[in-house]
Amino acid sequence: RLVSLSPSTVIVLREHHEAEDKLRESLWIPPLTDDDLVFCHYDGKPYLPDS
């Protein structure tokens, strides 16, 4: 679904994505692709809705 975000939220999410990429690289975990979730398990799988 499409969600509207404020410019400041987009900045925060991009910073989060960059930090996650750096962490993944330091742990030898492959980077996520651009179409993956923002918040997910380390392997890109989604969290269960009930968790």
pLDDT tens-place string over residues 13-47: 999 888 988 988 898 887 776 666 777 777 777 88
Token match 């030898």: residue? 28
The structure's pTM equals 0.61
How many angstroms separate the Cα of 38 from the Cα of each of 8, 29, 31? 16, 16, 12
Residue 6 has pLDDT above 90, yes or no: yes
Nearest to 5 by CA among 38, 41, 45, 29: 38
- Which range marks the domain in which residue 10 is found? 1-51
Number of domains, the chain: 1
Contacts (Cβ under 8 Å, ≥6 apart) of 14: none
